[in-house]
Structures are given as C-alpha cells and as structure tokens.
Structure 1
Amino acid sequence: MNTSLLYQTPGYIIVSLLFVMMLLFNRIGFKIHQRQTAKNDESVSAGLGPVEGSLLGLLALLLSFTFGMSASRFDERRSVIVQEANDIGTAILRCDLYTDSDRKELREDFKLYVDARVAYYNAGNSKQKNSDAIKESEKQSGRIWNKVMMLSQDKENTLRSQQMIPAVNSMIDIVTTGQAARYATVPDSILWLLFVLILTASLIVGYSNSNKKINHVIVSGFALMTVLTVYLILDLDRPMRGIITTDASVQKIIELKNLFQNE
C-alpha cells in the first residue's frame, strides 16, 4: 500500500490548499509587478509574454500527461477486477466436473473465497480491513488449491484436474495482478512537479498583469478550473475512495454469490 503523505491526504484537502496558494501566488506576482512599475522599471515585465505563454503551455501539457496516466491506470484496475470475476466464475463452474461429494466441498470453499474477495474490495482505504481480507483470501485460496491437488492424485480425476488446475491457478494469479494494479499510482514526484508548475504559473500570470487591479473573477476561474482538473487526476488515482470508484466492476464479483443461492 502506498503510505506516502501525498497519497494518504484526502484529495479535497490538497486541492483546497492548492486553490488558496494559487490565489496567493497570483497576488504576490501582481504586487511585485506593482513595485517595479512604481520604480518605472518595465523592462523585465515587458518581455514576459513568451515566458508566460510557454509556461502555461507546459502546464497544460503536464496536466494532460498526468490525467492520461491516471485514467489509463484506472481503466487497467477495472479490467483486472472484471477478469478476476471471470476467473473465479470459471473455477466455480468447473466444480461441477467432480462427483457430488467433492463438488459440494469445493463449492463451500469457493463461497468463502468469494466472501473474502468481496470483503477486500469493500475494505476501502482501511489498512486493517485490507490486511484481514487479504489473509482470508490467501487462506481460502490455499484450501482450494490443496483440495484440487489432492483430487488430482486420483487417476479418475485426471481429465477433471486438467480443467480445474489452470482455472484455480488463474484465479490465484489475478489477485497479485490486481494488487499491483491497485497500487500502481501516479508517482509522487510527477504530482509535486505539477503543483510547483501550477504555483509558478500563477505567480507569472499575476506578475504579467498590467492592470491596476486584479480581476478576481478571471483569476479565481483559472484557479478553480485548474484545481478541479487536479482533483479529477487524484480521484482517478485513488480507486478505493473519492467520487470515481471501481464499484461497477466490483459488482461483477459480488454477483458471483448468485451461484450459491440454492445451497
């Protein structure tokens, strides 16, 4: 689990602070420009047009790059969850290949395994709940694997095992893939660079203001649109909390409980 301060801090707190800092840096830049204007020194600010344009272009590029990175990783997490649901469902259905007694035991273990996986996805950002759910998942998957391996020793189960073993193996492997995808977030260094660039752009925009007063509507609008984009990036990068979640994909795993309704 990502334990960095930036990742653990709620997104709304980050963007709220960023919004205030943007307004502050814009005002600082404006005040610096006013002081230079009072000294009849316009030589520096006059040549800042290309710098301002380049900086805002770079900011737009980095915002686009970071958004694309977070969106692609969000899509990957959703697809892995759906794939896990398919793998578990395939393994459950292949329990029907066995005799009634073995089938019943396997399906009971699978029912507990599905409950453990649902608990994992419902754990949110709680470290303790995540840890408990992972341990329970490993416990139940281990029982299933041992049971399938034991049944494979019987020659009568040769064809059954050839179908069941790959299914259980895929079911176990996809958990590792899912955990890796969940914690593959946008690197903190990129986000810090984005924040620094946003504040620098705010400073330059304020410095380049040639009016006698700050247009608070335009400045606030620019800051608001910027922090909303940042919030969307952070929200996509944190699938277990926030507004944008993977709940629709997790529902596919929850629906696996329907396979045990008559038991």
Structure 2
Amino acid sequence: MLFFSLSTWVLALILFAITLLATGLGLVAGRKVQHRSDDLREPFGVMQATLLGFMGLILAFGLSLAVGRYEDRRAAIVAESNAIGTTYLRAQTLAEPVRTQSLTLLKSFTDTSIRLTQTVPSSPEANRVLADSTQIEAQLWRLAGQALDAAPIDTAPRLYVDSLNQTFDAQSTRAYGLGNRVPDEVLLLEVVGAALALGLLALHLATIGQGVFTVVLAAVLVTLILLVTFDLDRPTRGFIQVPADPLINLRISMDAPPAASAPSGG
C-alpha cells in the first residue's frame, strides 16, 4: 500500500524526482573528483557495470510481475462476463416467477461487477460494492433453491445452479485479483536500485568528463519504465486500466428481450 495509495501524477513526480536527484548527485560528485579520473576510472567502471546489470534485472523482474497480474485481471473480467452470460441464458429456461426475478437480479449483479471495475480495491466504495453483490448473490441462490424444489428432476434448474455457482466464483476470483499487487518490497527495491545505478553511472561519466546528456536520458527512460511497472499494478486508477468492455457489452445485451420464453408448464 506504500505506493498504491498515491495518485498517479504524484507517483510520477516522486519517481522523476528520485531518479533525477540521484543522477544530479552523481554528476556533482563526479565533477569534484574529476582531477583523479585516471585512478578512479577503472573501479567506478566496474561498479557501474555491476549496478547497471543489477538494475536491469530488477526492472525486468518487476515489470514481468506487473504484466502478469495485468493479464490475469484482463482474463478474469472476460471469464466473469462469460459466466454471467451463460447464467443469464440458462435463467431464461426456468419456470415463472423465478425466471423473471432471476433475470432482473442478474442484471443488477452485472451492474455491481461493472461498478467494481471503477473502484479502488480495498477502498470503502469497493467494500460497499462487494456487500451489494453479496446481497444479490443470496437472493439469486434462494431463487435457485426454489427452482430446484419446484422441479427437482428437471435438467434446466440443475444447469442453472451450476452456472450460477461458477458466476459467484468468477466474481470472487476477479475481486481477489484486483488486490493482488506486486509487493511493496519489490517496488521499493526497484526504485532504490535504479537510483543507485543511475547515480553511479552519472558519477562515472562525470569523472571522465563526458556523457551528461546520456545519463539524463537514461534517468528519464528508467523513470518511465518504473512508472509503467507501477501503473500496470493500478488496474482501476492509473493510465493503463483493465477495460470493462466485456461486462459493459454483456449488460447492454441484457436490455434486449430474452431469447428464450418461459417453459410452457411454468
């Protein structure tokens, strides 16, 4: 939560400030010892190469973690949309009055899923959305039990109950995935490692009297990599968000008349 609680713009400013400060300190220190460049060139070069390699490894590791979680969240929202869509279709085969009541509740359930994509994980608003979803789940499950009691040997209620359970599981999986972020320790290690590596790179280049523009450019590029890594791990509030299009399109399709009519015996 150390970095996640910050707004995206504040986070970007902090990252730029840290990397540029480390680069600036390295340049200042390098110019102060520039008269000893012949003695310091080799040890500084070794340390610079070592830290740059370490920084590259850490940045790649953190970025891979963030990308993996982002892709998991995209897959989870598609899986939930498919599960709700299947449940909605199967609900149309139930007998009245359970059929109409269930279809209405499934629309409300989809609305809560869309609202969940627009809230910050673990925030009071997100907790309210999950509480509303839990209430709808209880009503849907009660209606499913009524459908089974009314027709215990029919196939339609059993299939509906199975898909309804999968729908509940799909939303729980997605809600958990929204809060499954890259550990703060990994992100902090990335920031500290990048700052040290850039500072030492600036120190080495300033010692030999060249490369000021190069190290500043490197600082900007590293900061952008850090920002992308952090942003991928902020699914509902950053520049790179998980699209809710599958759920939104599903909800729009629910406004059309049901494809199947109620069973004649209902």
Deviation at 1:254, TM superposition (A): 1.5
What residue is the counterpart of 1:260 in the other structure? 255
Q: Deviations over 1:32-88 (max 9, x none)?
A: 3343445x5853443221221121111111111111110111000000100000000
Matched residue of 1:186: which SS?
coil
Equivalent of 1:221 in 211, 217, 227:
217
Aligned counterparts of 1:28 and 1:255: Cα–Cα separation in 2: 52
Aligned counterparts of 1:210 and 1:178: Cα–Cα separation in 2: 49
Aligned counterparts of 2:221 and 2:26: Cα–Cα separation in 1: 20
What residue is the counterpart of 1:98 in the other structure? 94
1:262 is aligned with what amino acid?
P
What residue is the counterpart of 1:127 in the other structure? 123
Change (3 A) 1:180 1:31: same
What residue is the counterpart of 2:202 in the other structure? 206
What residue is the counterpart of 1:171 in the other structure? 167
What residue is the counterpart of 1:5 in the other structure? 2
Gap runs ≥5 in structure 2 = 259-266
Deviation at 1:210, TM superposition (A): 4.6
Change (3 A) 1:146 1:226: same
Equivalent of 2:230 in 214, 231, 234:
234
Aligned counterparts of 2:232 and 2:206: Cα–Cα separation in 1: 38
What residue is the counterpart of 1:77 in the other structure? 73
Matched residue of 1:122: which SS?
coil
Equivalent of 1:47 in 43, 50, 66:
43
Aligned counterparts of 1:120 and 1:25: Cα–Cα separation in 2: 39
Q: Deviations over 1:98-157 (max 9, x none)?
A: 124321121111122122222222335682321221111111111001110122123455
Change (3 A) 1:157 1:253: farther
2:19 is aligned with what amino acid?
M
Aligned length: 257
Change (3 A) 1:50 1:34: same
Conserved? CA contact 1:12–1:231, under 8 Å = no
Aligned counterparts of 1:25 and 1:117: Cα–Cα separation in 2: 43
Conserved? CA contact 1:63–1:194, under 8 Å = yes
Change (3 A) 1:208 1:90: same
Aligned ranges for residues 50-69 of structure 1 at < 5 Å?
50-69=46-65
What residue is the counterpart of 1:17 in the other structure? 14
Q: Does residue 148 of structure 1 match 2:144?
A: yes
Q: Deviations over 1:147-192 (max 9, x none)?
A: 1012212345542222011101000111211112111111100111
Conserved? CA contact 1:36–1:42, under 8 Å = no
Matched residue of 1:245: which SS?
coil
Aligned counterparts of 1:29 and 1:95: Cα–Cα separation in 2: 66
TM-score normalised by structure 2 residue count: 0.88
Aligned counterparts of 1:23 and 1:106: Cα–Cα separation in 2: 57
Equivalent of 1:28 in 25, 37, 60:
25
Gap runs ≥5 in structure 1 = none
Deviation at 1:251, TM superposition (A): 1.5
Comparing 209-218 with 188-197, greater Cα deviation is found at 209-218
Q: Percent identity?
A: 21
Conserved? CA contact 1:49–1:208, under 8 Å = yes
Change (3 A) 1:214 1:112: same
Conserved? CA contact 1:98–1:160, under 8 Å = yes
Structure with a larger share of its residues in helix: 1
Matched residue of 2:257: which SS?
coil
Deviation at 1:244, TM superposition (A): 1.1
Conserved? CA contact 1:125–1:241, under 8 Å = no
Matched residue of 2:97: which SS?
helix
